[in-house]
Each structure stands twice: as structure tokens, then as C-alpha cells.
A = this chain, B = another copy of it.
Amino acid sequence: MLTLVELAQLVQGEVEGNPELIIKGISSLEEASMEDISFIDNEKRLEETKKSKAAAFIVPSGVEGLNRPLIRVANPRLAWAKVLEFFNPRPQQKLGIHPTAILGEGVAIGKEVSIGAGVVIGDKAVIGDGVVLYPQVYIGANSSIGDHSLLHPRVVVEDGVQIGDKVIVQAGAVIGSDGFGFVTTAPGHHYKIPHIGGVIIEDEVEIGANVCIDRGTMGKTVVKKGTKIDNLVHLGHNVQVGEGCLIVAQVGISGSTEIGNRVILAGQAGAVGHITIGDDTVIAAKSGITNNIPAKSFYSGFPARPHSQQLKNDAAVHRLPEALKTIKKLEKRLQRLEEAKPE
């Protein structure tokens, strides 16, 4: 529990009302008890606060007219996330190296790590300070995990993969599998191209459950700082993903494609290989990207086109069955006119 003023410090907000008010948790407007703080993220929800039992509210800076204890903040959802985290810490994994973990030769382990039961770490791997490896994680030879990164159970990091600081990897993800590269020497005969490249996952990236990120053929597959990847996403060999992107569940990116910074790829979208997607672009769900996409654009459909064009096309298709009937009628009317035409 915290006082209102302590909570305000946590979220960099300003208190209105009794700063010594004791807060024991955070909850939605409906479910809040008289010892909880709750929150609204816009003025429209002001009316709803009247029915809430909450002891106090996190509100946007400008909101007026609520005569209850408050914390005013620039970004109420951010404040909510921080308070939620404070009151509900997830169970911590125990510090230390579990006796059943298997460490290779020349492994370097940082301070205050938690290495769980059945973890296997290959030769010469480097594990940073404060790293948490849940049980059954596999780290290949010559890989490195940066400080304060957290790998959930059964994550596989193959050999020669570099993972930055404060990276979170959900369970079952595979980083550094071989890419899908073959030389077809005759119809149906595919000779495997060795994949000697690596993977670089930069700081503060999050990778979802059962995601697959292939290693480079030569060179590296790269996911840059702060990008977040949802479950069951596939990144092919030598894909480059920029900073601060959001890649939603079940997206697939083929080999060597380059994605700019702050790109959003919605669920089940796919991209062919060897293309470029510009900065700040949004790709709608289920899109199929077959060509370079410029920066700051919004594309959808398959083949992906500017979304406004796609909407026009889709609306037109929806009117098409009627239009075909109209064409039939026009033909008949025209024929009648033609037949009536004076010779």
C-alpha cells in the first residue's frame, strides 16, 4: 500500500485532495473498493466516476469537475500500467543457478541471475546481470543475453545469437533457427544452403510465444530497439526490423525484407522477401505485401494497395452484382433503341 502522494510520485502526477490517503490497490471503476484507486483516460468517462466506490482516481491533466481525491497525469493509461505493476508484482523466479541447469565450458554468468531447472547453456555463452532464464530454456554456444532480460520457459536461443538488455521473450519462441534457403539443383532436388549468420535482438524488444526468428544466411537477422512482436510471428533469414515497431500475431516476413522504424504490421499480414517497408507505415491485418511500400503510408489487402483505394475497390465489388444486372438492362434498352433506329 502507498499514500496518494507516493503513488503520484510513481506516476509523475499531481495530487488533488488528501495526500496521506492510503491506497491498497487499483481496479476498474465498477470493481474498485473504497481502498482502491481507479482511473479514466478521457473526460467522457467523468460521469461514470460518480458511481464508483474508488478512494481516488487517476485522471488526465485537464479534467475538471470531479470533487474526489485525484492524481492528474499527462498519460492516464501509462499511469494505470505503472500502478497496476506496483500493486501486482508477478511471482519472482528464485535467484541463483538451479542445480539441474547444465552449463557448458567457458560460460560467463552475471550478477543476480535466476537460472531455472533444466536450463541448458552452451559453451562460451554470456549471460548478463539480472537475467532471468525460466526453467527449460536453451541457450546455444557463443550466444549472449543482455542485462535484465527475461526468457520464459522453453525459449530456444540457438548458437551465435545476440540478445540485448531488458528483452522479454515469451515461452516457446525460437531465435536463430536455420532460414528456408536451398539451391534447387534439379526439379524437386533442394540443396541446403548453410546458415552461418546470426541474429541480433536489440534492447527492450519483446518477442511473443512460439515466435520463430531465423538466423541470417550470411550476415544477421536484426530486430531493433523497442520493437514488440506478438505470438506465432515468423521472421525469415536476414530480415531487418527497425526500432519501435509493432508486429501483431501470426505475421510472416520472408527473407531479407527490411522494415523501417515505427511500422505497424497487423495480425496475419505477410510480406514477400527482398522488399522495403518505409518508416511509420501501417499495414492492415491479413494484407499481403508484394512490393516496396513507401514511408508514412497505410496499406491493406492482397496485393496490398493504399487502404483508401482498397476500400473503394471493396465497396465497388459489393455493388458489383447489382451493376452487372444494370449492364444487362442497358444492353437490352440499347438494343431496343438500335432496332428502332431509322434506316
Q: Report how many residues on chain A are interfacial, defined by Cβ distance under 8 Å.
A: 114
Query: In the complex, A141→B317 CA distance in Å?
Result: 53
Contact indicator A331/B337 (Cβ below 8 Å): no
Contact indicator A270/B272 (Cβ below 8 Å): no
Which single residue of chain B is at the shortest CB-CB distance from A329? B331
Query: In the complex, A248→B331 CA distance in Å?
Result: 46
Given contacts A136-B136, A209-B174, A312-B321, contact A78 B183 (CB under 8 A): yes
Q: Pick the contact of A313: B77, B134, B140, B321 (CB < 8 A).
A: B321
- Please tell me which stretch of A14-22, A48-56, A58-66, A184-192 contacts chain B, meaning at least 4 of its Cβ atoms lie within 8 angstroms of it: A184-192
Query: In the complex, A316→B326 CA distance in Å?
Result: 13
Residues from chain B with Cβ under 8 Å of A194 in the complex? 81, 84-85, 88, 90
A residues 197-237 in Cβ contact with B at 8 Å: 206, 208-210, 212, 214, 218, 226, 228, 230-232, 234, 236
A binding-site residues for B, Cβ under 8 Å: 27-28, 75, 77-78, 81, 84-85, 88, 90-91, 98, 100, 102, 116-118, 120, 122-123, 134-136, 138, 140-142, 152-154, 156, 158-160, 168, 170-172, 174, 177-178, 180, 182-183, 185, 187-194, 196, 206, 208-210, 212, 214, 218, 226, 228, 230-232, 234, 236, 243-246, 248-250, 252, 254, 261-262, 267-268, 270, 272, 280, 285-286, 288, 302-303, 305, 309, 312-321, 323-324, 326-327, 330-331, 333-334, 337-338, 340-342
Query: In the complex, A187→B245 CA distance in Å?
Result: 9
Contact indicator A231/B249 (Cβ below 8 Å): no
Given contacts A120-B116, A268-B252, contact A232 B244 (CB under 8 A): no
Contact indicator A187/B280 (Cβ below 8 Å): yes
Query: In the complex, A61→B152 CA distance in Å?
Result: 51
Contact indicator B159/A152 (Cβ below 8 Å): no
| Most chain B beta carbons < 10 A, residue from A142, A180, A341 | A180
A187-B262, A252-B268, A333-B338 known; 11 new pairs, CB 8 Å cut-off, are: A78-B191, A91-B159, A118-B120, A138-B154, A154-B154, A192-B206, A267-B270, A316-B317, A317-B320, A323-B327, A334-B334
Given contacts A316-B321, A317-B320, contact A84 B218 (CB under 8 A): yes
**A102 → chain B closest CB, angstroms:** 4
Query: In the complex, A336→B283 CA distance in Å?
Result: 45
